[in-house]
Structure 1
Amino acid sequence: MDLRRMARRARRENTLEHAMLRAAMTFGGFALVIQISLPLGFVLLLAFLFLKNG
């Protein structure tokens, strides 16, 4: 499933569909960033507390 090709087709056919697809892609990227940054932040927080106490 190529999102760029789908977006191009959606832009040609229907601007509303294209806007929804872009919103879904943006939300997906945002969710991916959160998914990656949350465990990293948690690990950094644990390391900081460990170093501060130890």
Structure 2
Amino acid sequence: MIKNEIESMRNVLNQLIGNQEDYGKIYDLSTKLDCLIVDYYNQEDTINFNG
């Protein structure tokens, strides 16, 4: 599920890049994307560790 959110946000980011008017949206999305990636890998590490 998180992986799908990451891919979705990455696609939106790619569409927004180059449009200066959307800089605020790009910044917010990239921050959320970073958090999701960290959460995703922390979850993966936990699963692998407990696995």
TM-score tier (shorter): 0.5 to 0.7
In structure 1, list runs of 5 or more residues that go unmatched. 44-54
RMSD over aligned CA atoms reads 2.1
Give 1:33's match in structure 2, choosing from 22, 25, 41: 41
Which fold has the larger relative contact order, with Cα–Cα distance below 8 Å and residues 6 or more apart in sequence?
Answer: 2
Report the TM-score when normalising by structure 2: 0.57
Q: How many residue pairs align between the two structures? A: 42
Q: What corresponds to 1:22 in structure 2?
A: 30
List 4+ stretches of structure 1 deviating above 4 A: none
Who wins on radius of gyration, i.e. which is larger?
1
Separation in structure 2 between the aligned mates of residue 38 and residue 22 of structure 1, nearest angstrom: 24
Quote the Cα distance in structure 2 between the aligned partners of 1:6 and 1:26.
17
